[in-house]
Chain A
Amino acid sequence: MFDRRLIQNFDWILLLLLLIVAAISILNLYSATYPIRDVGGSLIFVKQIYWFSIGFIVFLLMTTFNYHLLERFAYPAYFLSIALLIAVLFIGKVTSGSQRWLSMGPVSLQPSELAKVAVLIVLAKFFSENSGFREYRLRDLWQPFVLIGIPSILILKEPDLGTALLLMLVSLSVVLFVKVNWKSLSIFVLSALSVAPFIWFNLKEYQKMRILTFIKPDMDPLGAGYHINQSKIAIGSGQLWGKGFLKGTQTRLNFLPEQHTDFAFSVLAEEWGFFGSVLLILLYMFLILWGLNIAKDSKDKFGSIMAVGVVAIVFWQVAINVGMATGLLPVVGIPLLFFSYGGSSLISSMALMGLLMNISMRRFMFQ
């Protein structure tokens, strides 16, 4: 069953892109957390190296099986992730006001990360099987909407606004990708817009405030407003060539909040300037375009749609995180994948990349 062609078809470009981003990420974390040690006492960039190592193992593991297997396990995986999302609401660990983590012995797990992948697989399965429609109309789409809606609402309950938003954006991207009838799309958008004010007036005052500060960070001068201000100064002051490695004053003097997680990009932009930040952006862009290419080369719809979904995850995370750091978008807690510090999101991202590699490696195979 193991085919020599798998090795021949190994996607070296995808791997190379990932390795370059990983290297830059570790270098950048070294700078961002230069004096800081985490709770365990080890340096954060060292821990990130561990995470990357585990991530690459997960990445390789994800290539060992034929991805069509996932088609069979799509629904069980989906329902398992829903069960975990419900469980986290009851027995999850509360950290800074929200319940996102499920601890099982020594391992902590973020069910929302799992849900992202599960929703992707279910959607890919649904759209690959329902190929009778040339263009989908709204009435054909009620099933995917339910499939997306349930986990989104559960994640919103935690509450994890960022991840819920990401899940919805990624799923909608997939739905749009499979081509929705223009008329249906406009009806959908119009009805969503007409319901919005109704929902707004039914919200409680504190809920309104939360949404308003989300849209207008200035309303929270000590939180989001301050973060954006400092991040813009950090990025802008990098100018063309940057201040140099370990020389970012914004970073050194701790002006940047969350500089190793959500604002890791700002650290890079300060120290490596326009040159460095555009280089990183281009790397992500190549990764995305390469992923679209994999989708194109795939010989079946399931693989193709799943590849598009993975690409959508990368796309939205980069767009939102960089958009936030540069002050184009409101502050949402979405990390830059492969780049921000954090084990859970890194491993789930690497798993997704493994899936992409899996699809890429089997592009010439026929069943």
Chain B
Amino acid sequence: MKTSDFDPISITIFNRQLRNATIVVLAVFGVLILRLWFLQIVNGGMYRTKSEHNRIRLQDVPPFRGMIFDRNGEMLVDNRPSYDLYVIPEGIQDREELIKSLDRLLGLDPKVTEQDLAKASHKLPFTPICLKKDMSRDALAVIETHRFNLPGIMVEVKPQRFYVYKSLASHILGHLGEIGENQLKNGGYPNNKSGDLIGKSGVERKWQSFLNGMRGGEQVEVDAAGRKIRVISKKPAVSGKNVYLTIDKGLQTLAEEALVDKTGAIVAVDPDNGEVLALASSPSFDPNLFVMGIDKATWREISTSGGYPLQNRALTGQCPPGSVFKIIVALAGLEEGVVNPEEEVFCNGVYTLGKHKFRCWKKWGHGNVKLHRALVESCDVYFYTMGKRLGVNKIARYAKMFGLGNRTGFDAGKERGGLIPTSKWKLKRFGVPWQAGETISTSIGQSFVLVTPVQMATLISAVFNGGILYRPKVTKWVGDSQDQRICEFSPEVMGKVEVKQEYLELVKKALIGVVNEPHGTGWRTKLKDITVAGKTGTAQVVKLKKEKELDDAGGVPWKYRDHAWFVAVAPAERPRIALAVVIEHGGHGGSAASPIAKEIIKAYLGVAE
């Protein structure tokens, strides 16, 4: 006998236990059947009625996106209610009549309505179909008065992103767009679902996770027409966090006004911490356009028009710095000991290297110039001479020390790094060695040198704050309110310029001269009560000779005209604002860019002329 075969005692126990099990099973199934009897027979009628009027459904409660404020607490981005018109296909009584009524009352194109309703046939009959987003108040009033003649129609209120000052600071704030298929899949947006709007650029993109908030939902009972009768239970949505920027709304407005009808950019920063006070890029766009889902024609206009309004020129607009670059060559020369401030260089208007002739912008030359006057009057021949002594690689070392050739790491928006050429770079890039002549044009910020406006603002800040490179940033802090800050962004030092203070002082004095001395190229920026310091730059788009020919042929076409630069700080003794202005194809820095800088400085420091 096997061990597992039954012995008589086991059989008795087993049979008793089987009987007990049978009783348990009968009891439990009895309970289930009783429960079914209770649900289906006793309360069946009630549930039947409920199912016939079953209008209990889940409704999304979208969170309020966080608001965005300027440095003074002024609201730049808000949410406003949008009244959207929906129809519930099941509720429609007379389809033709409804389409006609909507045309008559709201001017909805019958064809479009027909199409919208046709799309609905693939969906469940209780799914609301959107017919019109963001109705006007008048349209809303019309719907409310006629709602009993429009069965199946309902109005939903949803929060909608609202850029209070339209295009103001649009490049910093950024814009929203529908979340993409990949973004949904890769798990980077856990609180979003298909159809949601997320930040696509600027601050909206950078702080998406803070601004977004958490979706809630409601179990609601709706009537036959789909209107909400009562909320059965709900999980409230959690609003997004607010973002407080370093932007000064007034200054930003002024900067943008200065750029109207021009192509260019302005960056104004606090030289003591890198906080961006204003950052304008022109042409700009109205982010409100993207909120409703942009139509094709508008999109085409924005994305393909020559000005590329979506591009943030302050961060991505790369062009040669022109004479602004002389600041770097001067400091490099002093620090490397190839320049004696008292040494005189004779400028007759032309610098000759081998067969090539390099011209000074002043046709007849500056005569004998020392460093100070060379900067003040922006003598090209002086810097050709210094550049030749330094060589391109030393120039590049100092330029990089000032953060050029690399992205600054600005916190909101795509950025480009510009370019600082070296002999190694050229060999690698083009397979040809560096030419001596290229050093000459590099020393006045031409040849391959490319910079962005935000880099220029950082550069001029560093010259006047003792050589500290602060990372430019636009976010001050994120939080629910003034008292509840989730994260705060303190100034970040990204580098220090290794140049003796006395040399910095020499250059600073010269830059004051640029604005305040009789022949200074930046004289247009001069203010009575405040010392402004700065440097002009004129970046050539085509070679001088070509330009001359074009000029003779009757005016230089716009796209061949020079880019005008001006970088400045004020007050020079203890700067509170540093800025870089670039006007693309604006002509000379002194005439096209520096007057704009003056207006901004005046406004920010609150002084009269």
Contacts and interface: CB of A to CB of B under 8 A. Distances in A.
B58 A323 contact: no
B34 to A, nearest CB: 10
A168 to B, nearest CB: 17
Nearest to B30: A285
B233 interface: yes
B58 A222 contact: yes
Nearest to A293: B18
B36 A278 contact: yes
Contact of A299 (B6, B39, B43, B58): B6
Interface in B412-426: none
A319 B32 contact: yes
A239 B40 contact: yes
Contacts of B39: 232, 235-236, 326-327
Contact of B217 (A222, A254, A269): A222
B146 interface: no
A255 B44 CA distance: 18
B35 A326 contact: yes
B25 A128 contact: no
A78 interface: no
Nearest to B52: A249
Given A239-B48, A292-B25, A274 B2 contact: no
A43 to B, nearest CB: 18
B32 A233 contact: no
A65 to B, nearest CB: 17
A129 interface: yes
- Among B4, B43, B50, which residue has the most Cβ atoms of chain A within 10 A? B4
B53 to A, nearest CB: 10
Interface string A290-326: 0010011001111010001001000100010011001
User: Is chain A's binding surface mostly helix, strand, loop or mixed?
Assistant: helix
Contacts, number: 157
A179 interface: yes
B40 A249 contact: no
B21 interface: yes
Nearest to B28: A319
Size bin of chain A's contact surface: 35 or more
A177 interface: yes
A233 B50 contact: yes
Nearest to A288: B25
Given A179-B13, A222-B58, A249 B51 contact: yes
A240 B44 contact: yes
A218 B124 CA distance: 26
A226 B40 CA distance: 19
A288 B21 CA distance: 10
A253 interface: yes
Contact of A323 (B10, B32, B125): B32
Contact of A238 (B5, B40, B219): B40
B145 to A, nearest CB: 31
A110 interface: no
Contact of B25 (A129, A134, A289, A301): A289
Contacts of A222: 58, 217, 219, 235
B299 interface: no
A222 B220 CA distance: 10
A274 B234 CA distance: 32
B194 to A, nearest CB: 17
B22 A226 contact: no
Given A222-B235, A274-B36, A281-B33, A236 B43 contact: yes
17 contacts: A131-B3, A179-B17, A221-B217, A222-B235, A233-B54, A236-B39, A237-B44, A237-B48, A250-B51, A269-B40, A274-B36, A274-B41, A282-B29, A285-B25, A301-B4, A304-B14, A315-B28
Closest 3 CB pairs of A and B: A236-B47, A221-B233, A237-B51
Interface of A: 71, 128-129, 131, 134, 177-179, 218, 221-222, 225-226, 229-230, 232-240, 249-250, 253-255, 269-270, 273-274, 277-278, 281-282, 284-285, 288-289, 292, 295-296, 299-302, 304, 308, 311, 315, 319, 322-323, 326-328, 367
Given A236-B43, A238-B40, 10 more contacts: A71-B4, A128-B4, A226-B56, A273-B40, A277-B40, A278-B33, A299-B5, A304-B6, A319-B28, A328-B32
